[in-house]
């Protein structure tokens, strides 16, 4: 991982590439790499779909090594959905393979002067750029199938579907999994539209005959990795709960707490929750011969995913995650797992973010385009996105645009990005994260529940009025740090409860790079990421007034607890005081 691959898609005579040493970007990975490059090289005032925007793809610091759980890949740019800086990450094989091919980042710049479509091919022998007009407007599944026919089944693909080509703001970038299926997505923020604007349909990676990245201190690394594995396996969340039920294990619990946004955030509970819960989903998958426990990349030992087969026993999609099941399920009043899984497949194929699309369909239902609970109508709305019809182009640009076009007041977005599956009125602290995140409403922005272990900001006093602000800040700092390692965020639960597992992670980083990092250094890295991102957003025109939830969260009481979001604006304004 000693090089950066820079591709100028707008070069005279067609796209050109060059390789360069890491230089100022040495020692960076994942989110800190993408945000540093975007912060340094992209004009914050540029149009997100213009030649001036750049798309940065980066594996994590430990990707490509034998470290377990190190398969997250980050994508960064200025977001067409939010207008802010964006980092979106995904699992799949991309990070591991790209790192083994030696690249710490691929930076796409410029824009083709014609309307040709291209593909980028990378293997041990080098890099090639070829036209890819034969893939035009194909879905991700057909795209990958054609690429396998051409380049064999050992490849890993990073691709966009028709939504990305049409530059829709909800467009995602797909990463193939171990079975070479395009099931993992950098979903949030419309990164797929930026890739589409660059005229790049796919990156084909093949790491055949490439070695694992070697650690500086192999023995210490092996010992730390072993301790890390043991820690993950013995913890009830990473060793039992997630493998058994996946992230959809959350449906019943969030619903019971009255924090499950139902029917476009009208209520905090959904009567059909048990029909679409992780427990029910796992039973259904197993009864059809699918898998309820499956990893998304080599080296994953939590294995929170699975395979969802249709009623005839044929592969339909990967196990839909909690946020997807919520977005297309309870948020639309739908309690049919088969319908939700079909929509998940369509989302993955067209290449759109499942959270944004679910929120958008719910806003469309609120607007009267369909009835809440009408699964067939929901499927047809999503199919409009695939067709690229006028309605589909509106929906494919997300909940905010759809709400504006159809005159809906209750539109759950922050900085243009749809809120995920947790209502901020019942869990006020996550409302602070939604409001203040540099990314727009994003549940993963403050996901690393390791703040207390990292000692970020010390202990929080829950009785202090600004306790939730401080807690959210600590979580966002910790998350930015974990996002930079390339580690799956789900490791956070074992780190939270088991200090020795957290130490094992630090030991792995130190042994791999020959460093002496401490928890303070990790904290500093997280703070640096947030500061870079915040600075970009300020230059792009964002102010503290953008760090707000939509007004309805402050005035509409959420049943069953009948609570509103009551964190004061002045408290939110304290968030970046560090």
**Chain contacts with other proteins (rule: CB under 8 A):** 236-238, 240-242, 244-245, 247, 249-250, 252-254, 256-259, 269, 274, 277-280, 283, 304, 322, 422, 426-430, 433, 443, 446-447, 449, 451-452, 460, 462, 467-468, 471, 475, 490, 493, 496-497, 560-561, 563, 566
Closest approach of Cβ 281 to other proteins, in Å? 11
**CB 529 to other proteins: min, Å:** 18
Nearer to other proteins, 399 or 460 (CB): 460
Q: CB-wise, 223 or 428, nearer to other proteins?
A: 428
- Shortest Å distance, C-beta 493 to other proteins: 6
- Report the residue count for the chain: 578
Kindly state the smallest distance separating residue 291's Cβ from other proteins, in Å: 17
- Residue (479 or 510) nearer to other proteins, CB: 479
Residue 305 carries which DSSP code?
Answer: B
Alpha-helix runs per DSSP H in 367-425: 375-387, 390-395, 398-406
Q: CB atoms < 10 A from the CB of 557, how many?
A: 10
Helix (H, G, I), strand (E, B) or coil at 414: strand
Pair of tokens at residue 549 = 């939830």
The Cα 156–Cα 119 span in angstroms is: 13
Specify the residue, 66 or 468, whose C-beta has the smaller distance to other proteins: 468
Residue 274 CB, nearest approach to other proteins (Å): 5
- Minimum distance from CB of 456 to other proteins (Å)? 12
Nearer Cβ to other proteins, position 242 or 357?
242
- Cα–Cα distance for residue pair 330/318, rounded to 1 Å: 19
Contact 396, 170 (CB under 8 A): yes
Cα angle 374, 378, 384 (rounded to 5 degrees) comes to 145
For residues 135 and 201, the answer to whether their CB atoms sit within 8 Å is: yes
> How many alpha carbons fall within 13 Å on the CB side of residue 387?
11
Q: Which is nearer to other proteins, 216 or 459 (CB)?
A: 459
Would you say 241 or 412 has its CB closer to other proteins? 241
From the CB of 344, what's the least distance to other proteins, in Å? 19
The radius of gyration of the chain from alpha carbons, rounded to an integer in Å, stands at: 22
Measured from the CB atom, is 403 or 446 closer to other proteins? 446
Residue 57 C-beta: closest distance to other proteins, Å = 26
If you ran DSSP here, which 8-state letter would residue 352 be given? B
Helix (H) or strand (E) holding 120: strand 118-123
- Closest approach of Cβ 179 to other proteins, in Å? 24
Query: How far are the Cα atoms of 75, 293, 455, 541 from residue 72, in angstroms, in the given order?
Result: 10, 19, 24, 30
The nearer residue to other proteins, 61 or 448, going by C-beta atoms, is 448
φ, ψ for residue 566 (rounded to 5)?
Answer: -120, 25
Q: How far does CA 483 lie from the centroid of its chain?
A: 10
Relative to beta strand 55-59, strand 103-109 is antiparallel
> Are 182 and 143 within 8 A, CB to CB?
yes
For 131, 265, 269, 489, 561, the CA distances from 259, given in Å and listed in that order, are: 48, 10, 7, 22, 9
């Amino acid at each position: 991982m000693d090089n950066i691959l820079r591709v100028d898609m707008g070069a005279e005579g067609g796209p050109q590439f060059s390789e360069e040493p890491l230089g100022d970007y040495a020692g960076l990975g994942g989110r800190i790499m993408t945000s540093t490059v975007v912060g340094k090289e992209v004009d914050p005032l540029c149009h997100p779909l213009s030649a001036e925007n750049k798309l940065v793809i980066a594996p994590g610091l430990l990707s490509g090594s034998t470290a377990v759980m190190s398969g997250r890949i980050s994508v960064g740019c200025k977001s067409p959905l939010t207008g802010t800086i964006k980092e979106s990450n995904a699992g799949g094989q991309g990070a591991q393979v790209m790192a083994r091919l030696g690249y710490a980042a691929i930076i796409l710049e410029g824009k083709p002067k014609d309307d040709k479509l291209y593909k980028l091919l990378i293997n041990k022998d080098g890099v090639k750029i070829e036209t890819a007009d034969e893939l035009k407007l194909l879905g991700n599944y057909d795209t990958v199938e054609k690429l396998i026919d051409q380049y064999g089944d050992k490849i890993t693909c990073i691709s966009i579907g028709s939504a990305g080509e049409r530059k829709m703001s909800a467009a995602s970038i797909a990463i193939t999994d171990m079975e070479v299926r395009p099931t993992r997505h950098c979903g949030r923020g419309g990164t797929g539209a930026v890739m589409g604007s660059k005229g790049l349909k796919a990156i084909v990676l093949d790491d055949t005959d490439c070695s694992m990245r070697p650690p500086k201190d192999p023995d210490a690394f092996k010992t730390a990795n072993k301790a890390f594995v043991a820690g993950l396996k013995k913890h009830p969340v990473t060793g039992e709960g997630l493998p058994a039920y996946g992230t959809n294990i959350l449906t019943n619990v969030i619903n019971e707490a009255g924090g499950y946004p139902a029917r476009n955030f009208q209520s905090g509970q959904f009567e059909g929750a048990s029909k679409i819960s992780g427990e029910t989903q796992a039973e259904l998958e197993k009864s059809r011969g699918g898998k309820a426990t499956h990893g998304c990349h080599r080296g994953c030992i939590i294995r929170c995913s699975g395979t969802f087969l249709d009623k005839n026993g044929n592969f339909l999609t990967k196990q839909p995650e909690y946020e997807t099941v919520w977005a297309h399920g309870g948020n639309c009043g739908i309690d049919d797992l088969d319908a939700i899984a079909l929509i998940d497949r369509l989302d993955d194929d067209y290449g759109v973010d499942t959270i944004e699309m679910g929120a958008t369909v719910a806003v469309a239902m609120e607007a009267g385009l369909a009835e809440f609970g009408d699964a067939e109508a929901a499927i047809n709305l999503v199919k409009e996105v695939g067709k690229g019809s006028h309605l589909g182009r509106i929906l494919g640009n997300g909940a905010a645009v759809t709400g504006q076009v159809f005159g809906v007041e209750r539109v759950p977005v922050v900085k243009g990005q749809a809120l995920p599956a947790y209502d901020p009125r019942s869990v006020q602290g996550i409302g602070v994260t939604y409001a203040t995140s540099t990314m727009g409403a994003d549940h993963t922005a403050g996901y690393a529940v390791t703040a207390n272990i990292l000692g970020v900001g010390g202990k929080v006093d829950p009785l202090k009025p600004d306790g939730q602000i401080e807690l959210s800040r600590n979580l966002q700092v910790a998350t930015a740090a974990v996002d930079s390692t390339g580690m799956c965020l789900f490791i956070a639960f074992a780190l939270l409860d088991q200090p020795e597992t957290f130490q094992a992670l630090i030991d792995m980083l130190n042994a791999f790079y020959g460093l002496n990092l401490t928890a303070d250094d990790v904290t500093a890295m997280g703070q640096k990421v947030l500061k870079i991102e915040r600075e970009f957003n300020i230059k792009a025109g964002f102010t503290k007034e953008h760090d707000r939830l939509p007004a309805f969260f402050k005035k509409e009481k959420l049943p069953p607890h009948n609570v509103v979001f009551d964190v004061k604006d002045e408290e939110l304004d304290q968030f970046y005081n560090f």
